[in-house]
Amino acid sequence: MKLFLDTAKVEDVEQRISTDLISGITTNPTLIKKSGKFPDDVYREFNKLGITDISMEVVGESCEELFERAIHLTKEFGDIATIKLPCTVDGLKACKRLANLNIRVNVTLVFSVSQAILAALAGATYVSPFIGRIDDNSFDGLDLIKDISKIYKKNYAKTYILAASIRDVHSVGKAFEYGADICTIPPSVFDKMYNHVLTSSGLCQFNEDALNFGKNV
165-182 residues labelled b (16+ CB within 10 A) or e (exposed): bbbebebbebbbebbbbb
DSSP character string of 156-194: T--PEEEEBS--SHHHHHHHHHTT-SEEEE-HHHHHHTT
**Alpha-carbon span 180 to 29, nearest angstrom:** 24
Active site residues: 84
Q: C-alpha distances in angstroms, 25 versus 100, 118, 155, 166, 213?
A: 23, 24, 28, 14, 45
- Strand pairing partners for 182? 2, 162
Provide the terminal-to-terminal Cα distance of the chain, rounded to the nearest Å. 46
User: Which candidate, 91, 161, 93, places its Cα nearest to that of 125?
Assistant: 161
